[in-house]
A = this chain, B = another copy of it.
Amino acid sequence: MPATVPCVRLSVEPSLVATDYPFSHRIRVRFAETDAMGIVHHSRYLLYLEETRVAYLRALGHPYPEMRSEGVDYAVLECFVQYRQPLRFDEEIDVHLQLASATRTSFQMSYLVTVDGEVRASGVTVHGCVTAAGRPTRLPQWLGELAGA
């Protein structure tokens, strides 16, 4: 997406090197996530990225349910996925995650999906901090600091 379009916040390029990512989370592909092409349906990857985000926040000591109960939520503003090689039923995938950048009210995460070290997909999600009423609000301080914002 052209960088000149102000409404497109997505700007990071996910690294294809797993060791560039500080966090990873393993997920086994469910049968229900496949489709009639015999591979994982492209929409399911977003579930894997989300599960990994939640695991990452938990590992940081800031579990997502706790944040939600404190009235801060992370709306997904944009997502991008590149499908490089299909995923199949019962494969164990490693989703690598990096907090990529942040502004006062939003942050980006990039992802690499591998199986046995082989790259299968990469992606980026852009999130905005919102109140329970859905209004944009500042990132929690720890998150801004973590992102170097």
Binding site for B on A (CB under 8 A): 1-3, 5, 7-8, 10, 13, 28, 30-32, 34-39, 41-44, 46-47, 50-51, 54, 63-65, 73, 75-83, 86, 89-90, 134
Contact = CB atoms under 8 A, between A and B. Distances in A.
B46 A82 contact: no
Given A32-B43, A36-B89, A80 B1 contact: yes
B31 A50 contact: yes
A39 B130 CA distance: 14
Contact of A36 (B35, B44, B76): B35
Contact of A32 (B35, B64, B65, B90): B35
Contacts of A3: 2
A23 to B, nearest CB: 16
Consensus secondary structure, chain A interface: mixed
B81 A63 contact: no
A43 B8 CA distance: 18
Given A1-B1, A35-B35, 14 more contacts: A5-B13, A7-B82, A10-B80, A31-B50, A31-B54, A32-B35, A32-B41, A32-B46, A34-B36, A36-B89, A46-B46, A77-B82, A77-B83, A79-B80
Contacts of A32: 35, 41, 43, 46-47, 50
